[in-house]
Amino acid sequence: MTHSLMSTYNRLPVTFARGEGARLWDTDGNEYLDALSGIAVCNLGHAHPTVTRALCEQAGKLIHTSNLYGIGGQEALGNALTALAGMDQVFFGNSGAEANEAAIKLARLYGSRRGVRTPAIVVMDNSFHGRTLATLSATGNRKVQAGFEPLVQGFIRVPFGDLDALRAVAAHQPDVVAVMVEPIQGEGGINVPPADYLPGVRALCDDRGWLMILDEIQTGMARTGRPFAYQHFDFRPDVLTVAKALGNGVPIGACLARGEAADLFAPGNHGSTFGGNPLACAAALTVCETIREQRLWETAEAIGTRIQGGLRAILAGVDGVIEIRGQGLMIGIQLDRPCGALVTEALNQGLLINVTAESVVRLLPPLITSEQQADQLVTKLGGLVSDFLVRD
Ligand SMILES: Cc1ncc(COP(=O)(O)O)c(C=O)c1O
């Protein structure tokens, strides 16, 4: 079926033909409840009428010009996104990896301006930052890196959530210019750090003059119960990356910065042919406005609490469930064994989920998931997980 495509993906045996809200239908007409949102992308659900309208209108006017010219939609989106994210300025690219590439380049430029000849960025074990050479080098997963050596230099790795490890780096590594961290690790297994961790990273960055770079590609756009996950706290990062849900499925990524970090790039330092083109900006502007007007982070918090509470109740006392964790609609169920088989079992029962870090069931439902759909998800998944653990 896929001989013309490079075999980069292990695909499930299903093809979807259409969607509406949190539901999808395959090419045979079977219905599914989507608890994954295309991996945290379709936060407003499928075929969102306002996004569809904005895209159709924009496609009828202009799809692309170039960053050689002014792009009205890009400026409007820049204003809406910087306001939502609490940042000063933004650069638009097309994906998460590109947003992180821009952030890494900003950190290097910051170091170079300060006369640091071999600037280093501290990154975390079990992190995921993308598949380009620089971002896979930053990623804390050997499987992602294997075969692609030599890796890009200039990353120092420490355990996630460990402030002492970061302090040790501060004491011994004079060339550090930045820390790059996900507020909650997504691909790494929905790992929520201790409450004092991110504020502690901020304090250390302030003390050492390092940039704090937050990768909010999976946590951003209202998923965790705030517009951005760092807004659960009382600080701001220097650099913040976002992609995935920014266009609700239309490819667009962004690297935001504030203060000194926002003044680093000059013409010629960075760019992208497609980045922030009129079509992508029309989608993303609608997404930002919808999230803001409907305060969808509050929905994410409420529905997320309902799902987490439901899962805790239905899986209470089930042997093999180690922990249910997460924030808002970013939820992980840590089992005591590899559980990849659950993905196909759920699919066969009309439910889309994902397994990451081998033994963590990952849920990233659309923010518009209704209470009834949330309850359906809990009942179905609770049964699947319990059966799996009894049988396996
Ligand atoms: C935290 C994080 N950063 C970066 C990326 C890479 O994004 P993209 O696949 O759009 O390049 C991902 C993708 O899963 C991610 O979860």
> Do residues 283 and 79 touch, judged by C-beta distance below 8 A?
no
- How many angstroms does the Cα of residue 335 sit away from the middle of ligand 1? 24
Q: Which residue has the tokens 């799809």?
A: 63
Q: Which residue has the tokens 């083109």?
A: 277
Clarify whether 244 is annotated catalytic.
yes
Encoded tokens for 16: 């979807």
Clarify whether 215 is annotated catalytic.
yes
Clarify whether 128 is annotated catalytic.
yes
Determine whether 133 is exposed, middle or buried from the number of CB atoms within 10 Å of its CB (0-12, 13-18, 19+).
middle
pLDDT at 2: 55
> Do residues 179 and 201 touch, judged by C-beta distance below 8 A?
yes
Residue 241 neighbours by CB under 8 Å, 6+ apart: 96, 99, 100, 102, 103, 213, 214, 215, 216, 217, 253, 254, 255, 256
Encoded tokens for 40: 């945290």
Backbone angles phi, psi at 326, to 5 degrees: 135, -175
User: Which residue among 155, 160, 215, 265 is the active-site one?
Assistant: 215
98: nearest Cα among 222, 245, 244, 283: 244
Indicate yes or no: pTM above 0.95: yes
Alpha carbon dihedral 37, 42, 46, 52, in 10-degree steps, equals -170
Q: What is the radius of gyration, based on Cα positions, of the chain?
A: 21
Q: How many whole angstroms separate alpha carbon 373 and alpha carbon 279?
A: 31
pLDDT at 1: 54
- Around ligand 1, the residues with Cβ closer than 6 Å are 95-97, 100, 128-130, 182, 186-187, 215, 217-218, 243
pLDDT at 3: 87
In this prediction, residue 392 has a pLDDT band, given cuts at 50, 70 and 90, of confident
Q: How many whole angstroms separate alpha carbon 317 and alpha carbon 321?
A: 8
> Do residues 184 and 219 touch, judged by C-beta distance below 8 A?
yes
Encoded tokens for 287: 């997404």
> Do residues 241 and 230 touch, judged by C-beta distance below 8 A?
no
State the chain's mean pLDDT as an integer: 97
In this prediction, residue 391 has a pLDDT band, given cuts at 50, 70 and 90, of confident
- How many angstroms does the Cα of residue 286 sit away from the middle of ligand 1? 22
| Residue of 95, 123, 129 with the most ligand 1 atoms within 8 Å of its CB, for mutation | 129
Q: How many whole angstroms separate alpha carbon 369 and alpha carbon 309?
A: 16
In this structure, the residue with its CA closest to atom 4 of ligand 1 is 129
Q: How many whole angstroms separate alpha carbon 105 and alpha carbon 215?
A: 14
Q: Provide the CA 104 distance to its chain's centre, in angstroms.
A: 17
Average pLDDT on 41-53 reads 98
Residue 185 has pLDDT above 90, yes or no: yes
User: Which residue among 34, 228, 238, 244 is the active-site one?
Assistant: 244
224: nearest Cα among 182, 254, 263: 182
Average pLDDT on 190-207 reads 98
* Predicted confidence (pLDDT) per residue in 357-389, tens digit: 999 999 999 999 999 999 999 999 999 999 999
Q: Which residue has the tokens 């979807």?
A: 16
User: DSSP secondary-structure letter at 227?
Assistant: S
On the question of a cis peptide bond just before residue 150, with omega within 30 degrees of 0, the verdict is: yes
**CA distances from residue 303 to 212, 352, 354, 384 in whole angstroms, order as listed:** 30, 17, 19, 21
pLDDT at 260: 97
Ligand 1 atom nearest the C-alpha of 253 is 10
243: nearest Cα among 37, 66, 64, 98: 98
Strand 253-257 and strand 89-93: the pairing is antiparallel
> Do residues 86 and 236 touch, judged by C-beta distance below 8 A?
yes
3 state SS of 266: coil
| Residue of 128, 214, 246 with the most ligand 1 atoms within 8 Å of its CB, for mutation | 128
